Amino acid sequence: MLLNQLCPCGSQANYADCCGQYHSGKAIAPTAEALMRSRFSAFAKGNVDYLLDTLHSSKRKRGERLQLAQSIKNTRWTRLEILAKKQGTPKDSKGIVEFMAVYDRPELGQMHERSRFRKETDAEGQARWYYVEGDMLPPHQPKRGEPCWCGSGTPFKQCHGKR
User: Which of 18, 72 has the CB closer to Zn ion?
Assistant: 18
**What is the per-residue binding string for Zn ion in 13-52, x denoting contact by CB under 5 A?**
-----xx-----------------x---------------
Q: For residues 143 and 100, what is the distance between their CA atoms, to the nearest angstrom? A: 14
Query: Does 148 engage in binding with Zn ion (CB under 5 A)?
Result: yes
Report whether 130 contacts 151 (CB < 8 A).
Answer: no
Question: What's the Cα-to-Cα distance from 44 to each of 83, 89, 97, 101, 136, rounded to whole Å?
Answer: 19, 24, 19, 11, 20
Q: Does 7 bind Zn ion (CB under 5 A)?
A: yes
Measured from the CB atom, the residue of 3 and 123 that comes closer to Zn ion is 3
Contact 73, 44 (CB under 8 A): no
Distance CA 95, CA 117 (A): 5
Q: Which residues contact 73 (CB under 8 A, 6 or more apart)?
A: none
Looking at residues 112 to 131 of the shown chain, list those that interact with Zn ion (rule: CB under 5 A): none
> Shortest approach of Zn ion to residue 98 CB, angstroms?
18
Say whether residue 159 binds Zn ion (CB under 5 A). Answer: yes
Q: What is the total residue count of the chain?
A: 163
CB of 137 to Zn ion, least distance (A): 18
Q: In the complex, what is the shortest distance from the CB of residue 72 to Zn ion, in angstroms, rounded to a whole number? A: 17
11, 14, 78, 110: which one binds Zn ion (CB under 5 A): 11
Give me the least distance between CB of 57 and Zn ion, in Å please: 24
Question: Alpha-carbon distance 100 to 44, whole Å?
Answer: 14
Contacts with Zn ion, residue ranges (CB under 5 A): 7, 9, 11, 18-19, 37, 148, 150, 152, 159-160
